[in-house]
Amino acid sequence: MNILILNWRDPKNPRSGGAEKVTFKYAEYWAKQGHSVIWICNSFPGCVSNESIKDVKFLRIGPDLGFTVVELLITYPLFLLHAVFSAIKTIYKYKISLVIDEIHGLPFFTPLYCKVRKALLVCEVAGPIWDKMYPFPINTMGKIFERIVYHIYRHTETWAISQNTKDDIYRLNKNQNIKILPLGIDPHVRPQVKKFSYPSAVFLGRIVKMKGVETAIQATADIVTNLPKFRLYIIGSADTQYKQYLEQLVSKLNINKNVIFCGQLSENEKYTLLAKSHFLFHPSYKEGFGLTVLEAGQMSTPSIVRSGSSLDELIKDEYSGLIFKKDSQISEMFIRHYSGNKYKDMCINAKNRSTQYDWDKMLLKSNLI
Q: Is residue 288 within 8 Å of residue 310, measured between CB atoms?
A: yes
Q: How far apart are CA 232 and CA 235, in angstroms?
A: 10
Collapsing DSSP to helix, strand or coil, 55 comes out as coil
pLDDT at residue 10 in the model: 95
What is the number of alpha carbons within 13 Å of residue 184 lying toward its C-beta? 18
pLDDT at residue 48 in the model: 96
What are the tens digits of pLDDT across the range 83-110?
999 999 999 999 999 999 999 878 899 9
Options 3.40.50.2000, 3.40.30.10, 3.30.540.10, 3.40.50.880; CATH for 200-356 is 3.40.50.2000
Residue 337 CB partners (closer than 8 Å, separation 6+): 279, 322, 343, 346
Q: State the DSSP H helix or E strand holding residue 362, giving kind and residue range, or none if neither.
A: helix 359-366
Q: Can you spell out the DSSP letters for 85-104?
A: HHHHHHHHHTT-SEEEEEEB
pLDDT at residue 262 in the model: 97
Residue 36 CB partners (closer than 8 Å, separation 6+): 1, 2, 3, 57, 94
Q: How far apart are CA 128 and CA 140, in angstroms?
A: 10
Q: 311: which DSSP letter?
A: G
Beta bridge partners of 232: 201, 259
Question: pLDDT tens, position by position, for the chain (369 residues)?
Answer: 999 999 999 999 988 888 898 999 999 999 999 999 999 999 999 999 999 999 999 999 999 887 677 777 889 899 999 999 999 999 999 999 999 999 987 889 999 999 999 999 999 888 878 887 788 888 899 899 999 999 999 999 999 998 889 999 999 999 989 999 989 998 888 898 999 999 999 999 989 888 999 999 999 999 999 999 999 999 998 878 899 999 999 999 999 999 999 999 999 999 999 999 999 999 998 887 888 999 999 999 999 999 877 788 899 999 999 999 999 999 999 999 999 889 999 999 999 999 999 898 889 887 777
E strand map for the chain: 2-6, 36-42, 50-53, 56-61, 98-103, 117-122, 157-160, 178-180, 200-204, 231-235, 259-263, 279-282, 303-306, 321-324
What angle, 0 to 180 degrees and rounded to 10, lies between the N-to-C axes of helices 343-354 and 291-298? 120
Question: Which residue, 171, 155, 68, 151, is CA-closest to 107?
Answer: 151
Domains 2-181 and 200-356 share a fold: yes
CA 34 distance to own-chain centroid: 28
Query: Where are the chain's structural domains?
Result: 2-181, 200-356
CATH 3.40.50.1010 fits 2-181, yes or no: no
CB neighbours (10 Å) of residue 364?
A: 12
pLDDT at residue 261 in the model: 97
pLDDT at residue 109 in the model: 97
Cα angle: 218, vertex 223, 229; to 5 degrees = 120
